[in-house]
Amino acid sequence: MSTARGGFSSRMGFILAAAGSAVGLGNIWGFPTQTASNGGAAFVLVYLVLAFCLAYPAFMAELLIGRYGQANAVTSMEKISRSLWQKRFAFVVGFGGIVCVVLILSFYGILAGKMMSYAIEPVTSLLGLNDASSWLISQSVVRNLIFTALFMVLTIAIIRRGVEDGIEKWSKRLMPMLIGLLILLIIYVFTLEGAKEGFAAYLNPDISRVFEPDLLISALGQAFFSLSLGTSVMVIYGSYISKSENLVTLGAQVTLIDVSIAFLAGLLIIPSMYVAQAQGVAIFSDDGSLISGPNLVFDVLPTLFTGMGAIGLFVAFGFFVLMSIAALTSSISMLEGPVSFVVERHNVERKKATTFIGFGIFILSALIILNFDVLFGLVISLSTVYGQPLIAMLCCVFVGWIWQRSGVLEEIKQGNDSAEHSLFWKVWPWYTKFVCPSAIAIVFFHSL
Ligand code: TRP
């Protein structure tokens, strides 16, 4: 099944790699914290609806473009374009996605590095290396630079090996570990006092909040970030799938895994907060809302782990290893975006391109670390709040208005003989043409 440019060797390989890209800090950290700050289960409900009704169709648009083009994002979109202006439009959207994902990786690497330093801390504590432990978990430029670099080196090492030997092989190893760790941690937290209360807070929706604009915007942003949309990544993953696979079902399976893991992560984090409260840790801020954001992961949970005594070291280790793995299977997909572009368009050898681009992105991260207060938030909003929805919307416009309908249907039919009788066939093309771009645009402009 692999072509000369590489490709996933099996259906499972694709599912785990795409789910690996989708499941990341966004699921295990972003989703529970957003849930905590947006009224608990009301957010979960809205998220589920938006993930399936808007993010999944947009996700399919990107996968189909890639599978049709069998090339990096820019080339794939150019292949579909017929006139000069369409080709220019294709370049802007494809290349825009690549710029966007480079920015995302530059801040994501910093957070992931921090997860790694927090994962090592329980080990140094166990060994009695107290100075090292406190250095690992205290904020410093040097620590951030070292661990961001370390995380980038891991990402580069996997991407240098290519699609089958790198992305697929490591996703197959890491994703089962991630799911296993997550379930073990949930079971353990459930045996602790306070967990039931957290469980209730997570699952009882305050329906009155469902239509709050801020909640809708956060949920949409979260869904797009989680499915790695608007960044060329899913176009490139789509290009590595064989024409004999049923893309519509594969895409749905990946979406389902992504959403389920976000939901499971909520089952871990929100009850953990209430367990922490039962142990005397403050989990509500002054205005009465649940603590969210960085404080949750880097203060509340570590305090909880410390309160557990010796076993807390193992739980903390498990938790931050889980975070690091989730980040790594995502960061490899991010690096693949620019690497595939440079390898295919500029004929650079893969290993060289990977090291060079990875190093460049690390320099960006270093700039952010050195100017943290100014740049960190700015890069996050530029790439995730503006860039991703905008480019995802343009991808839908591209499929709906530029790609000839017969061509789109032809691509859907590949590997899916009975496609013509499915609901997807009947609804998706016009849905992607009209509903997706307008809905994304409405939410996007509202957020401005
Ligand atoms: N989806 C990942 C998460 O939830 C992040 C991610 C991976 C991503 N690849 C991406 C986000 C590409 C945007 C673009 O953490």
Q: Is the CB of 329 under 6 A from ligand 1?
A: no
Q: Is the CB of 236 under 6 A from ligand 1?
A: no
Task: Report the percent of the chain where pLDDT is more than 90.
Answer: 79
Find out whether 46 and 54 touch, Cβ atoms under 8 Å.
Answer: no
State in Å: Cα 405 to ligand 1 middle: 29
Q: How many of the other CB atoms lie within 10 Å of CB of 247?
A: 24
- Alpha-carbon gap, residue 297 to 214, rounded angstroms: 23
Q: What is the model's pLDDT at position 1?
A: 37
State in Å: Cα 62 to ligand 1 middle: 14
Report the pLDDT averaged over residues 224-232.
93
Q: What is the model's pLDDT at position 206?
A: 78
State in Å: Cα 22 to ligand 1 middle: 6
3-class SS of residue 243: coil
Task: Report the percent of the chain where pLDDT is more than 70.
Answer: 99
Q: Which two tokens stand for residue 156?
A: 């580069």
pLDDT tier at 45, thresholds 50, 70, 90: very high
Find out whether 28 and 323 touch, Cβ atoms under 8 Å.
Answer: yes
State in Å: Cα 368 to ligand 1 middle: 19
State in Å: Cα 330 to ligand 1 middle: 6
174, 220, 330: residue to mutate for ligand 1 pocket, most atoms within 8 A of CB: 330
Q: Is the CB of 335 under 6 A from ligand 1?
A: no
Q: Is the CB of 167 under 6 A from ligand 1?
A: no
State in Å: Cα 24 to ligand 1 middle: 6
Find out whether 103 and 133 touch, Cβ atoms under 8 Å.
Answer: no
**Angle between the 405-413 and 56-69 helix axes, to the nearest 10 degrees?**
90
- Alpha-carbon gap, residue 234 to 218, rounded angstroms: 21
Note the pTM of the prediction, 2 decimals. 0.94
Q: Which residue has the higher pLDDT, 446 or 141?
A: 141
Q: Is the CB of 155 under 6 A from ligand 1?
A: no
104, 234, 257: residue to mutate for ligand 1 pocket, most atoms within 8 A of CB: 104
- Alpha-carbon gap, residue 357 to 362, rounded angstroms: 9
Q: Which two tokens stand for residue 253?
A: 């399976």
pLDDT tens digits, residue range 58-87?
Answer: 999 999 999 999 999 999 999 999 999 999
Give nearest CA residue, ligand 1 atom 10.
228
Ligand 1 atom, smallest distance to 21 CA:
7
Strand ranges inside 260-414, DSSP E: none
Q: Is the CB of 318 under 6 A from ligand 1?
A: no
> Considering only 1-5, 357-361, 430-434, which range has the smallest mean pLDDT?
1-5
Q: Is the CB of 389 under 6 A from ligand 1?
A: no
- Alpha-carbon gap, residue 389 to 3, rounded angstroms: 32
Ligand 1 atom, smallest distance to 233 CA:
12
Q: Which two tokens stand for residue 183?
A: 């379930």
Report the pLDDT averaged over residues 287-299.
79
Q: Alpha helix locations (H) across 127-168?
A: 130-136, 141-160, 162
Give nearest CA residue, ligand 1 atom 7.
330
The domains located in the chain, with CATH, are 13-279+299-447 (1.10.4160.10)
pLDDT exceeds 80 at position 368: yes
**Degrees, nearest 5: CA angle 236-238-244:** 145
Find out whether 8 and 18 touch, Cβ atoms under 8 Å.
Answer: no
State in Å: Cα 212 to ligand 1 middle: 25
**Degrees, nearest 5: CA angle 315-327-395:** 145
DSSP secondary structure letters along 99-129: HHHHHHHHHHHHHHHHHHHHHHHHHHHHTT-
Q: What is the model's pLDDT at position 341?
A: 97
Q: Is the CB of 24 under 6 A from ligand 1?
A: yes
Q: Is the CB of 28 under 6 A from ligand 1?
A: no
| C-beta contacts of 353-358 below 8 A and 24+ residues apart | 354/156, 354/159, 354/160, 355/156, 355/160, 358/152, 358/153, 358/155, 358/156, 358/159
Q: Pick from 305, 304, 324: which is nearest to 315 by CA?
A: 305
- Tracing tokens 């013509």 back to the chain, one arrives at 420
Find out whether 367 and 361 touch, Cβ atoms under 8 Å.
Answer: no
State in Å: Cα 331 to ligand 1 middle: 7
Q: Is the CB of 73 under 6 A from ligand 1?
A: no
Q: Pick from 90, 137, 103: which is nearest to 117 by CA?
A: 137
Q: Is the CB of 233 under 6 A from ligand 1?
A: yes
284 strand-pairing partners: 290
pLDDT tens digits, residue range 299-313?
Answer: 888 888 888 888 999
Report the pLDDT averaged over residues 163-174.
94
Q: Which two tokens stand for residue 77?
A: 């979109």
Give nearest CA residue, ligand 1 atom 6.
228
pLDDT exceeds 70 at position 158: yes
